[in-house]
Amino acid sequence: MPVNYHTPAATDLWPVAGVRLGVAAAAIRKPDRHDLTVLALDPGCRVAGVFTGNRFCAAPVHVCRRHLALGSDIRALVINTGIANAGTGEQGWQAATKTCAALSQLLAIDDRQVLPFSTGVILEALPVERLIAGLPACLADLRIDNWHAAAHAIMTTDTVAKAASRRFVIDGRNVTVTGISKGAGMIRPNMATMLGFIATDAGIAAPLLQQLLREAADESFNCISVDGDTSTNDSLILIASGQADVEIADPSTAAYAKLREAVIGVALELAQAIIRDGEGASKFITVAVEGGHDREECKRVGYAVAHSPLVKTAFFASDPNLGRILAAIGYAEIDQLDVDRVRVWLASGGKEILVAEKGGRAASYREEDGARAMSEAEIAVRVDLGRGSAHAAVYTCDLSYEYVRINADYRS
Amino acid sequence: MPVNYHTPAATDLWPVAGVRLGVAAAAIRKPDRHDLTVLALDPGCRVAGVFTGNRFCAAPVHVCRRHLALGSDIRALVINTGIANAGTGEQGWQAATKTCAALSQLLAIDDRQVLPFSTGVILEALPVERLIAGLPACLADLRIDNWHAAAHAIMTTDTVAKAASRRFVIDGRNVTVTGISKGAGMIRPNMATMLGFIATDAGIAAPLLQQLLREAADESFNCISVDGDTSTNDSLILIASGQADVEIADPSTAAYAKLREAVIGVALELAQAIIRDGEGASKFITVAVEGGHDREECKRVGYAVAHSPLVKTAFFASDPNLGRILAAIGYAEIDQLDVDRVRVWLASGGKEILVAEKGGRAASYREEDGARAMSEAEIAVRVDLGRGSAHAAVYTCDLSYEYVRINADYRS
């Protein structure tokens, strides 16, 4: 059960003009479930992508990078769940390119205008013939208001579908940003998340679109961790169809600022939804680090706390064993950290408690206050490093019996 | 229950001339258990230490570093379990120095000749009066053949006491190396382990002793991880009493080589015992990485695999979901790793199975062979990076329900 998260209703997801979605059951790994999704893009859409930093990156990630680098007008995305097509060598590359070829034939476009995505088990072969056989059903299902179905069709160990949508006005015209994502385990995105797709009907120049996507990824998917495991398939895509009749070319304009806020807002909502649905999660934890020399060291401290199995099990148990947080801050390898200047607070339900200062427990701290804060489903840890003005937030969940059960059972 | 480990019998631990040990119940955190240990050293002992890299290092670690840096002849070690005296600020420093002062008075030595050690809960105050009240009982118990009792008295969440002992001959004289360690969680030593104490009756010059200790730590305690959490209190101490009438001053001699082999052997046995008794461990896993540019990148890959909760839960479940190992190798941030040259084997019970090569699953790999290997209690993963001649091994355990239970319950 996710922590304070419900999939938005289908009617709460604004369609994005120029982007149609279709799903089908192709029996990629299991029968009778939607496991294949196609996004068909009208001519003129611009597409930007960021991908995993994992050296063993999946075959479809290689193909996506290549097709985006060619500068071809992307006209379709095809996504399968069940098999990740990673750790599949030459055979995996062939499966991904065959997929693009089959879809491009059906749509009468070039195969370099297709981006393929896969998610699921690593080191197993993608059943490409079954995938290709499922494509016509996807195309028959193509609809502009199908984001809700697509959000479901890309799930793996997710317990809920993840989607977010915003509509706002630029120069008197309605602009929409809608996105979906999936992921619950192997979540510590390096460049992006497991899979995320965001579209807007604003028009935006290609280099600026890529810049916007990098900023959005850095503020959202690159700030989350379930288990510290960076996936082989992480991909985040931003599509701008331009059909809202709003063209943005200058990052210093108010229009760009509005669009940026909406895209980052949708990206953050989708990224946090992944944590709320993190494998076995019973709590949603924000680690906000401030007072650092730079953002990078704030993130390093945030991730040290967010990755510590001892911190995560203490949250699961609602046990204010907060020395474990201090220990994690201490091993984050921050050069010349003066621990006497570090302060740590625990916050939940609108109340903030000073836990540690001057290298030790705060005089005002009461264990019963800590226990109360730890028992909430939404908890924030705030850390002030006391040596600068940079800050960053990292989002994670607790480590429960359920996490072990899910991952001990995943393939069976 | 530890994986294939039993504490050696008291009679299997050779005493080290010049080193006496005593234990007592001081009710540091819980009543009626031995939680206080003193090692009394004869004049002339040389002592070397390596300590945690955690910035929030415990007060006793600060005091140890200071006393060792002063070059004072160390004559006593005092170790309490229950409270780590870490994250305790100025008060913690006072508690550690008071402990040294009290013991030095009882032994009629200088307080700078005492090294203090603590292990247990972080962020709670050390009950120094109770500790001091327990010292006379420790001194009354001092015996040369008390290593077994001391190994028990330093335990925290350990389920078994850890000790190792070797005797060998140099220049016709018997030389002994005996050591004890503790630790089961918060185990990812950076400089040393949670607590380890090794003594030899060989004589060895101080700088060489320190060099030997660093080498031994690097080959043993610095190659293990239970949960990736580097403790605030890690300390490894090597004592050379010189009473075997063997003096070693030159690292190029056969005598040094013999001593080195024994010290590293004892250290590795103690370090591996910590993993075998890792919190919730049901399997002992060796990750052996070869073919790297340097030892450092081999260790980086080894730790990426050893820290992955997904890999660790797959081992717990005996599920050959080996793509998770590939993913971990892939995100270890090895520059320009050519994944097509990486090979991965799984070994247990004397059999080795090639799992992956050329970027994917090996043609000869059969899932039933993988499942059989994964079901054993001792498993080795061998990784060849295919780009050099360096190698390193990292030791870890699986991640089980029991790990979560222990750490959700630890303080209660």
Quick check: is A163 in a domain?
yes
d(CA A92, CA A126): 7
Residues 6+ apart with CB under 8 A from B129: none
CB contact under 8 A, B404 and A404: yes
Quick check: is A84 in a domain?
yes
Residue of A190, A321, A404 with shortest CB distance to B411:
A321
Residue finishing a domain among B276, B305, B326: B276
Which has more pLDDT, B411 or B11? B11
For chain A, the average pLDDT equals 91
Q: Predicted confidence band at A410 (pLDDT cuts at 50, 70, 90)?
A: low
Pair B209, B98 in one domain: yes
B301: CATH = 3.10.20.340
Residues placed in the known binding site of B: 156, 182, 193, 279, 407, 412
Best of A83, A123, A344 to disrupt the B interface (most B CBs within 10 Å) is A123
Pair B237, B326 in one domain: no
Pair A262, A309 in one domain: no
d(CA B234, CA B53): 8
Q: How many residues does chain B have?
A: 412
List the single range of A12-16, A58-62, A206-210, B392-396 with lowest mean pLDDT.
A206-210
pLDDT, residue B195, reads 85
Tokens, residue A7? 């999939």
Closest CA to A63 of A37, A103, A99, A9: A99
Residue of A92, A122, A316 with shortest CB distance to B327:
A122
Pair B268, B295 in one domain: no
d(CA A231, CA B328): 8
What is the average per-residue pLDDT within B321-346? 92
Best of A121, A122, A126 to disrupt the B interface (most B CBs within 10 Å) is A122
What is the average per-residue pLDDT within B14-24? 96
**pLDDT tens-digit series, residues A46-60:** 999 999 888 888 999
Q: State yes or no: is A37 an active-site residue.
A: no
Which has more pLDDT, A78 or B188? A78
Name the 3-class secondary structure at A46.
strand
What is the average per-residue pLDDT within A124-141? 97
Residue finishing a domain among A256, A276, A296: A276
Quick check: is A130 in a domain?
yes
What is the average per-residue pLDDT within A372-377? 94
* Cα B183 off chain centre by: 7
* CA distance to partner chain B, nearest, from residue A80 (Å): 18
Pair B266, B303 in one domain: no
What is the average per-residue pLDDT within A374-384? 95
- Residue B261's domain spans which residues? 10-276
**pLDDT tens-digit series, residues A6-17:** 999 999 999 999
Pair A143, A194 in one domain: yes
Pair B44, B175 in one domain: yes
A249: CATH = 3.60.70.12
What is the average per-residue pLDDT within B159-163? 92
**pLDDT tens-digit series, residues B62-91:** 999 999 999 879 999 999 999 999 989 899
pLDDT of A265 higher than 70? yes
What is the average per-residue pLDDT within A385-393? 95
- ipTM reported for the complex, 2 dp: 0.81
d(CA B274, CA B270): 7
Quick check: is A141 in a domain?
yes
Pair A28, A118 in one domain: yes
Contact at 8 Å (CB) between A253 and A77? no
pLDDT, residue B233, reads 82
pLDDT, residue B54, reads 86
Pair A354, A263 in one domain: no
Q: Where are the alpha helices (DSSP H) in A147-205?
A: 147-153
Residue ranges of B 301-320 with Cβ closer than 8 A to chain A:
307-310, 313-314, 316-317, 319
Q: With an 8 Å Cβ cutoff, is B335 touching chain A?
A: no
Q: How many domains, chain A? A: 2
Residue finishing a domain among A276, A309, A336: A276
Pair A251, A130 in one domain: yes
Contact at 8 Å (CB) between A277 and A162? yes
Q: Predicted confidence band at A40 (pLDDT cuts at 50, 70, 90)?
A: very high
Pair B264, B303 in one domain: no
CB count, 10 Å around CB of B33?
16
Closest CA to A381 of A322, A313, A316, A333: A322
Quick check: is B5 in a domain?
no
Pair B332, B228 in one domain: no
In DSSP terms, which residues pair with A395 in a beta bridge? Answer: A224, A286
Quick check: is A4 in a domain?
no
**pLDDT tens-digit series, residues B21-41:** 999 999 999 999 999 999 999
Tokens, residue B302? 């080894």
List the single range of A214-218, B19-23, B108-112, B328-332 with lowest mean pLDDT.
A214-218
Quick check: is A63 in a domain?
yes
Q: Predicted confidence band at A412 (pLDDT cuts at 50, 70, 90)?
A: very low
Quick check: is A242 in a domain?
yes
What is the average per-residue pLDDT within A176-203? 82
One-letter identity of residue B279: E
pLDDT of A299 higher than 50? yes
Chain B contact set for A86 (CB, 8 A): 323, 326-327
Query: What pTM did the predictor assign?
Result: 0.85
H-helix or E-strand containing B66? helix B59-69
**pLDDT tens-digit series, residues B197-229:** 899 999 898 889 989 988 888 888 888 888 777
| Options B37, B97, B119, B193, the catalytic residue | B193
